[in-house]
Amino acid sequence: MARTSRIDYGAVDKDYLEHRRLRGGAAGWILLAGLGVAYVISGDFSGWNLGLAVGGWGGLLIAFLLMGLMYTCMVFGLAEMSSTLPTAGAGYGFARRALGPLGGFATGMAVLIEYSVAPAAIATFIGGYIEALGLFGLTNSWPVYLVTYVVFIGIHLWGVGEALKVMFGITAIAVIALVITVIGLVPHFRTDNLFDIVPDGSTGSSAFLPFGISGVLAALVFGIWFFLAIEGVPLAAEESSNPKRDMPRGIIVAMVFLLVSGAAMLVLVPGTAGASAMGESDSPLPEALRAVAGGDSVLADVVNYAGLAGLVASFFSIVFAYSRQLFALSRAGYLPRALSLTTSRQTPWLALVVPGTIGFILASVTGNGGLLINIAVFGATLSYVLLNLSHIMLRVKEPDLERGYRTPGGVVTTGIALVLAVVALVATFVLDVVAASITAGVFLVALAYFWFYSRHHLVASAPEEEFALLQDSEKTLK
């Protein structure tokens, strides 16, 4: 058993990695850009609007601008790291190289919390859209959650190439729905509708900020929902055609699209139907269209159905993301190794099914999309702190490392993202201290598992560990 830096590498069978292989060459940069949009596009259809109820339109606008800046800066850093260290571990792999085993595991677990819970939140919104359409006479959405998980995990089990193509098609339908929404709402936009929430008298409250400064902090969580999970694009590195070239192109193009689409929804939806009404809606886009065109609006029905495609696209793609993050952590021994076993079609079946089961239970028990958003955002913001720190540390520790892409502005860019990520992490406690504290407790339990068990049973031949060991060897030679 090899030992290095207070960790142990355990022996594995010679065919260990043969049973833990992903299908390479399945995605070029266009599919990767589509994957990046798919991860996030549900944030345009539902969830973001809940920020109106806690921050007002002005508070949510400030949150959108700050979090948009944070994500843009972070995406540039991720483009560099993913072109330099292209593995399925993505965030865990970057942090493993920059911050060591504990930092790598902590980042991977934070990402896993985010990606395991986000589909559960999206499932509740899918249920809301279906109930709004009156389909199947459903008054309780748990059957919708079950069908959603079973069908879309099943497609992933079919194969990654097929799954990514299905995802791309669903995402295209969702994009068309956003365009239709813009066309339908623009003629009815009124600035007064943005400011119809009565100020509550708190510090700094006004028509622009009805809940004052504290409302801005609370709204940060929902500002994140416009962009949450785009950082998952690098998780497809081992399945992409040319990660050094394709990863930067894919993730940056996706980010530009999301900035434009998010801004359009933030302005037009409450600007037609009113910020007060939209702050409580489970299906804000079709409700906004019905508010201006009548309850029997065909356009609203079209967007309602197509909106389901947007929610499904994000659900579908984040399932892909959590399975790859869990696969990588398991393959390297940080989590039970059985979770990284792949099928004959080279899909990690247990890494798909186990978090899916947990997500279904969370959605069914809580049925509260807002609560689940806060849990997911806690994991996300914690990972963002570590990811941006990883970029900075890699620049400092390994300035001569061959990079396929270099972040504009270097560590200044990711430094801005790091500061904003810390603020956003604090905001999760402002919004719901109980949910954030419980999630923090789960994270600490995971760290204890690493410290007392998994750091003594790691797999040296896993790609992320090989990258780190290569670095150690180079340092020794010097």
Domain of residue 264, CATH code: 1.20.1740.10
Structurally, the chain folds into a number of domains equal to: 1
Q: Is residue 471 part of a domain?
A: no
Evaluate whether residue 438 is within a structural domain: yes
Whether the pLDDT of residue 253 is over 80: the answer is: yes
Task: For residue range 176-195, list pLDDT tens digits in order.
Answer: 999 999 999 999 999 999 99
Give the whole-angstrom CA distance, residue 86 versus residue 238. 7
Domain assignment present for residue 22? The answer is no
Instruction: Please check the confidence at residue 53 and state whether its pLDDT lies above 90.
Output: yes
Residue 171 lies in a domain: yes
Cα distance between residue 34 and residue 180, in whole Å: 19
d(CA 295, CA 307): 17
How many whole angstroms separate alpha carbon 94 and alpha carbon 390? Answer: 7
CA angle 263, 264, 270 (to 5 degrees): 100
* Structure confidence at residue 1 (pLDDT): 35
Q: What is the pLDDT of residue 370?
A: 82
Place of tokens 């939140």: 121
Report the alpha-carbon distance of residue 134 to residue 454 in Å, rounded. Answer: 49
Domain range for 322 is 29-466
- 4 part of a folded domain: no
Predicted pLDDT of residue 316: 82
261 φ, ψ to 5°? Answer: -70, -40
Exposure of 248 by Cβ count < 10 A (0-12 exposed, 13-18 middle, 19+ buried)?
buried
Residue with tokens 């020794």: 476
CA distance 182 to 195: 20
Classify residue 364: in a domain, yes or no. Answer: yes
- Summarize pLDDT for 439-455 with one digit per residue, the tens: 999 999 999 999 999 99
Task: Give residue 158's pLDDT.
Answer: 77
Q: What is the DSSP string of 417-475?
A: HHHHHHHHHHHHHHH-HHHHHHHHHHHHHHHHHHHHTGGGSB-TTSHHHHHHHHHHHHH
pLDDT level of residue 239 (50, 70, 90 thresholds): low
- The reply to whether 340 falls in a domain is yes
pLDDT at 34: 81
| pTM, 2 dp | 0.86
In contact, 315 and 123? CB cutoff 8 Å? yes
Contact indicator for 228, 428 with CB cutoff of 8 Å: no
Residue 18 is assigned to a structural domain of this protein: no
The encoded tokens of residue 324 equal 């790859």
The residues near 335 (Cβ < 8 Å, ≥ 6 apart) are 326, 329, 454
Locus of tokens 């800066």: 73
